[in-house]
């Protein structure tokens, strides 16, 4: 999914890096168990999704809202969720009727498996970030506004492929205050 979104965004260098990582890690990394690609200089550059691609194409984020189970999103990213399904190879493996017909008696590729896969990914994300969520909930004056701000900032950072959107200022950027 990241590779196809890199191509759709015109980021061919990142697409090549992801293709190389996939090739190296799926062979020398024993089907992705190990990450020898990083040791060879092919660093993980993060995941890309269709919401980011739409943002790179110039679409505004639209309104912010929270969907049950899925969580915070914007109009652009909600539309991107639909695109993500069609670009997700796991979805195609679990929903392709030709694969089902060819694997008689094998229920490992049922369409339920896709939803289990996505659901366990959401639980994994929540478990990795539980301390951050608890801290935000305890310390935020307005939890909704805080989550909205964090979500929109993070999505803008991902669209720009930036490490940080906060620019640091030099001491020379400030004019001296005349106290006389």
Record the pTM. Answer: 0.74
Q: What local confidence, expressed as pLDDT, does residue 149 receive?
A: 95
Domain boundaries, the chain: 1-46
Q: DSSP string of the chain?
A: -HHHHHHHTT-HHHHHHHHHHHHHHHHTTTTTTS-HHHHTT--------HHHHHHHTT-----EEEETTTEEEEHHHHHHHHHHHHH-HHHHHHH-HHHHHHSTT-GGG-HHHHHHHHHHHHHHHHHHTHHHHHHHHHH-SSHHHHHHHHHHHHHHHHHTT-S-SPPP--GGGSPPP---
What is the rounded distance in angstroms from the CA atom of residue 100 to the CA atom of residue 65?
37
pLDDT for the residue 180: 44
Q: What is the mean pLDDT of each run of 10 residues along the chain (180 residues)?
A: 91 94 92 90 91 95 90 94 83 64 54 76 86 93 94 94 63 47
Rounded distance between C-alpha atoms, residue 52 and residue 10, angstroms = 12
Nearest to 35 by CA among 20, 13, 16: 20
């Amino acid at each position: 999914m990241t590779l196809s979104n890199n191509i759709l965004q015109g980021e061919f260098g990142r697409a090549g890096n992801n293709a190389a990582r996939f090739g190296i890690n799926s062979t020398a990394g024993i089907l992705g168990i190990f990450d020898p690609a990083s040791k060879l200089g092919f660093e993980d550059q993060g995941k890309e999704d269709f919401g980011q691609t739409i943002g790179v194409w110039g679409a505004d984020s639209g309104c912010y809202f929270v969907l049950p189970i899925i969580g915070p999103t914007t109009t652009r990213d909600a539309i991107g969720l639909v695109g993500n399904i069609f670009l997700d190879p796991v979805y195609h493996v679990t929903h392709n009727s030709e694969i089902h017909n060819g694997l008689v008696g094998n229920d490992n590729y049922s369409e339920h498996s896709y939803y289990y896969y996505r659901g366990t990914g959401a639980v994994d994300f929540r478990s990795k970030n539980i301390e951050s969520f608890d801290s935000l909930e305890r310390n935020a004056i307005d939890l909704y506004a805080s989550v909205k701000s964090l979500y929109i900032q993070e999505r803008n950072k991902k669209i720009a492929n930036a490490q940080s959107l906060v620019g640091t200022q030099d001491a020379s950027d400030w004019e001296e205050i005349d106290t006389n």
